[in-house]
Every structure is written in structure tokens, then in C-alpha cells.
Copies of this chain bind each other. A is one copy, B any other.
Amino acid sequence: MSDPLDAIFAALADPTRRAILTMLLEDDMAVTDVAAPFDMSLAAISKHLAILTRAGLIAQEKRGRVKWCKLDPDAMRLASIWMQGFGQFEPVNLDAFERFLAAELDGA
């Protein structure tokens, strides 16, 4: 009934969660390590991670007693595709193009 974009954009609306995603861009991390830089209880971070997981933005995998968090690109891509529908209002965006190319080449 509810659009997955609801959960994706809602998850992205919180600065703590966006910061977590940015951290995960560097490397996969355990929950405790994700929580370390934040001035906030571990339980709060655990909730944030649950929200990111429900939105499909990250995936969590338990190995031993440690739960590893890693980015899951599908949800972000879905949101990005939705937004591209509005791209026709942008003047030709060479900056974005360069970033796109750089990202693609880096990933190759």
C-alpha cells in the first residue's frame, strides 16, 4: 500500500542517518563502531540503523556477536531515478555529469 519512496526519503531526512550512510561509504562497520562518533546512546543508533534497513538503504549481517552494516545501493538508486524525472528543469548539468562519470569509472 505504501510507496517504498516514503520510507527511503523519510530515512534520508535525518542528519544522523545521512551521516551514518556517509560513514558506510568508507567501509562496512559494526553497530558499536557506527555509534562511536555520535553523542547519543547505542540504542538510539540501533534504531536509526533499523530505519535505514527497513528503507532498504543498508543491509545488516550478523557474524558472531557482531552485526555488520553495509550500504545497499538499490533503494538510493530508486530514489535517484524518481528524482531524475525532474531533471528536465535543470540546465545541462556538466558538473553532475562529471561526477557521474568519475563515480562510474571508480566503480569499474
Query: Which residues of A are at the interface with B, using a C-beta cutoff of 8 A?
Result: 2-3, 5-6, 9-10, 12-15, 18, 21-22, 25, 71, 73, 76-77, 79-93, 95-97, 99-100, 103-104, 106-108
Contacts and interface: CB of A to CB of B under 8 A. Distances in A.
Residue among A71, A86, A88 having the largest count of chain B Cβ atoms under 10 Å: A86
A73 B100 contact: no
A79 B13 CA distance: 10
A104 B87 contact: yes
B84 A83 contact: no
Contact of A104 (B6, B13, B97): B97
Report which residue of A83, A88, A90, A97 has the largest number of chain B beta carbons within 10 angstroms of its beta carbon: A88
